[in-house]
Structure 1
Amino acid sequence: MSWYIKQVDDGKGYGLFAKQDITCGDVILEEEPLVCSQFSWNKLYKYRACDYCLKSLETAEEMCRRLAQNPSINLPHPECCKAKPETNVHCLNCEEVYCSMACREKAYNEYHKTLCPSSDQCDKSALEVLDETWRGFHFPPETASIQMIMRILARIKQEDKKEEFIAAIERFCHISTNNVEQIAHKLLGEQFSNQISVLRDQLKSALFDESVQHWFTTDGFKNIFALLGTNQQGIGSSALSVWVLNCDELNLQESDRLDLDSCIDDLYQELNNVAGTFLNCEGAGLYVTQSKCNHSCDPNAEVSYLYNNHRLTLKATKDLNQDEEITISYLSECLQSRGKITRQEFLRENYLFNCQCNKCMTLSEIDDVTSDEDYDEKDDDDNNNNLLEN
């Protein structure tokens, strides 16, 4: 183990630190989530992922044809696609799909026994209404899912050691009471005065459990929502990405390499024209150890999903010295390249802190985006929303 957790003195709570010298490129840790789920809109628009581990279930070619709305796409080097649809299995009682029998069994034992439409453990029509209500409040790009809370509650109902699981959830970082409503509404997009109460009442009708009855109070529901907002890690899987990476490893003649690279460039352009940047099966998860990583605008580590499922890999992007804090960026690649004012505004709105990393402390506030760049980003968001209209 190359890391350890300790209290940070500057008010950030806990942090992750290097137990020894770490070299750039080293894997610091790998971790599976305590709980995870696919985003609601992502699933509705037929991004096929394993209900348990979020592994992309389509072949790369199937994914491209769906995303580009072009059934004539044929990818070269099919051997580079590692997806195996023939191993996919359904729940024995419903249409939920898993990448393997192992994932199906884990899902059933952890939460699906409760959430399966065939069971009598909860009101399934109420769950469907709740999911539709959530989508009505929260549009892509998604940053959370009511499915996460539903899955947590289902786990509580099925857990033999309820107190331990509840304690594990409640040990994730909490924000101050004064900021709870702000971050809860931020997750929902546009602010409506009744959003939280509507979702809480519908969730209570479907999955109330006495062991966490405090979560169903007005303040308790906002707290659990805010806990997800400040701790969950986005998850992305893609058979297409795996195919591209494996194509990069092919030993080809230079002319063949140029042809393949050109083919991939043209493919991504076609996908971008139809689906924008919505290419992956997307969801979110709660990771006990990774959640201790604090933010830096100039991080020394990054999160990736090397196994095309929910198993997270934290890899060093710089050399780290023993006892140095391991940091990641909470910003997208685009936002990381923006100026201090823009970065800090995003972090305040979404994570409720003023960044004091070395980059923010050494750069002048006049180093910021231009209005043209802001408009470009807005245009990108508009293009992403075109997927909903197709």
Structure 2
Amino acid sequence: MENNDFFIKIVNNEKGKGLFSNRIFKEGDIILEEKPIVCCQFSWNSDYGYLACDHCLRPLETAQENAQRLTGNPNLFLPYSECCETNKNLMTECPACGAKYCSIECQNEAFQRYHSVLCLQSRMKDESHSLTQLNETWKQMHYPPETATIMLLARMVALVNQANNKQDVLSIFSQFCHRTTNDTHEIAHNLLGEKFVGQIDVLRQMMQTALNTEYTAHWFTPDGFRSLLALVGTNGQGIGTSAFSRWVKNVSALDLPKDQRIYIDKLINRIYDDMEEVVGSFLNNEGSGLYILQSSVNHSCTPNAIAEFPYSNNTLVLKAIRDIQVGEEICTSYLDECELERSRYSRQKALSSLYLFVCHCDKCQTQINDPNVTSDEELDDDDVSS
């Protein structure tokens, strides 16, 4: 695939595809914007009251309601309400199952693409229904922090079942990497370890019971289901949205008198401190989605781009974080900032278990002779020596 800004090509057998620049991108430039083929909110995230559109994950709380819930303070007041982007007048819900949406457009799109199948087979308020039981079983197997949800797989099946041209949709999903192992380095995906064998088969059988799998039968053989889990595990892009963070961004852009700016900055810092005490790092509506272009972007421990969600919905924006030259590979980090600061051995361990590859980026190559110890072990050694 190629356009004026970037092109995709095969890098090697281990990495597969990569995204490369067709022009110079300056720091801060947007490289691409993309909506997912399918996405879904994490199961525990939803159950804990993180209110998000069932289709696009846009927040369904006002910024003030969001801040009140996350701080545990129902009396908290946010000034400048015009900086809140949540419009409750546009919200709607499925009359059959109660799924909530930020707009009638999202509701209609969800119904036309996958929700009709899921809603006809399920009334999510019915705790005895097979899809509800599937979701509950997944939750008991996978506690927070979440990186995936079985309901994303259910939406994938529904998307195929509801499509006019089912082969076209299956062909799209086949483009994603779905290796369960990296044979070159004898790595198995961490969702597929020996301790999960029994769980995987339970989930496979429950999904077959809950959904019509006629058109996706190859996904529900034992090996096919492992590949499906690996597809989601290696390609799923985390999505995070927050009404409060959007309010913060909009308030921060206001031209305020100095005393008001000082007051607002102190208020924001205090609220974030209170949130950290109550919910820790669990601030956002969180879910996972599959993006065709983004899935071609490889990892680097010294990335030149970052994936963001600036519209507080599932639209992914890939942005340059330093200048990128013509022909240069565009890379993001699959690890967060804290993980990037850990030892080479720690980074390699995380990347191999989650994404089935050994990183050969410039940073890893310069640290190739570093000792094979985790950052935690390094800290322990420092404590002993001090």
Q: TM-score, normalised by structure 2?
A: 0.91
Q: Does 1:342 align with 2:346?
A: yes
Aligned CA RMSD, in angstroms, stands at 2.3
Contact 1:181 1:222 in 2 (8 A): no
What code does the residue aligned with 1:327 have? C
The equivalent position to 1:45 in structure 2, one of 39, 43, 48, is 48
Contact 2:180 2:227 in 1 (8 A): no
1:228 paired residue number: 232
1:388 paired residue number: none
Cα distance per residue 1:82-126 (max 9 Å; x no partner): 111121111132311101110000010111111126769xx9700
Aligned residue runs from structure 1 range 322-361, under 5 A: 322-361=326-365
Distance change in 2, residues 1:181/1:165 (3 Å): farther
1:383 paired residue number: none
Matches of 1:263 and 1:188, distance apart in 2: 45
What code does the residue aligned with 1:18 have? S
Matches of 1:280 and 1:189, distance apart in 2: 29
Aligned residue runs from structure 1 range 36-75, under 5 A: 36-75=39-78
Contact 1:138 1:187 in 2 (8 A): no
1:377 paired residue number: none
Contact 2:84 2:246 in 1 (8 A): yes
More divergent stretch after superposition (307-316 vs 123-132) = 123-132
Matches of 1:190 and 1:242, distance apart in 2: 42
Contact 2:122 2:131 in 1 (8 A): no
More divergent stretch after superposition (355-364 vs 285-294) = 355-364
Contact 2:38 2:156 in 1 (8 A): yes
Q: Does 1:182 align with 2:185?
A: no
Matches of 2:352 and 2:78, distance apart in 1: 43
Cα distance per residue 1:241-292 (max 9 Å; x no partner): 1001111101122222122111111100101101111010000000001100
Matches of 2:360 and 2:90, distance apart in 1: 48
1:98 paired residue number: 101
Q: Does 1:365 align with 2:366?
A: no
2:384 paired residue number: none
Distance change in 2, residues 1:114/1:9 (3 Å): closer
Matches of 1:320 and 1:232, distance apart in 2: 25
Distance change in 2, residues 1:340/1:243 (3 Å): same
Cα distance per residue 1:129-155 (max 9 Å; x no partner): 100000000011101000111001111
Number of residue pairs aligned between Structure 1 and Structure 2: 371
Distance change in 2, residues 1:11/1:356 (3 Å): same
Contact 1:94 1:117 in 2 (8 A): no
Contact 1:94 1:118 in 2 (8 A): no
1:253 paired residue number: 257
Q: Secondary structure at the match of 2:159?
A: helix
Cα distance per residue 1:16-57 (max 9 Å; x no partner): 000011111100000000010000001111111101111111
Aligned residue runs from structure 1 range 172-321, under 5 A: 172-175=176-179, 177=181, 182-183=188-189, 186-187=190-191, 191-321=195-325
1:133 paired residue number: 137
1:78 paired residue number: 81
Contact 1:111 1:158 in 2 (8 A): yes
What code does the residue aligned with 2:171 have? A
Q: Does 1:88 align with 2:91?
A: yes
Q: Secondary structure at the match of 1:194?
A: helix
Contact 2:97 2:122 in 1 (8 A): no
What code does the residue aligned with 1:365 have? D
Identity %: 45
More divergent stretch after superposition (240-249 vs 359-368) = 359-368
Contact 1:137 1:188 in 2 (8 A): no
Q: Secondary structure at the match of 1:28?
A: strand
Q: Secondary structure at the match of 1:210?
A: coil
What code does the residue aligned with 1:107 have? A
Q: TM-score, normalised by structure 1?
A: 0.90
Q: Does 1:19 align with 2:22?
A: yes
Matches of 1:142 and 1:61, distance apart in 2: 25
Which structure 2 segments of 5+ residues have no match? 381-386
Contact 2:180 2:188 in 1 (8 A): no
Which structure 1 segments of 5+ residues have no match? 375-390
Distance change in 2, residues 1:105/1:231 (3 Å): same
TM-superposed deviation, 1:193: 3.8
What code does the residue aligned with 1:111 have? Y
Distance change in 2, residues 1:57/1:189 (3 Å): farther
2:159 paired residue number: 155
Contact 1:143 1:187 in 2 (8 A): no
TM-superposed deviation, 1:187: 3.2
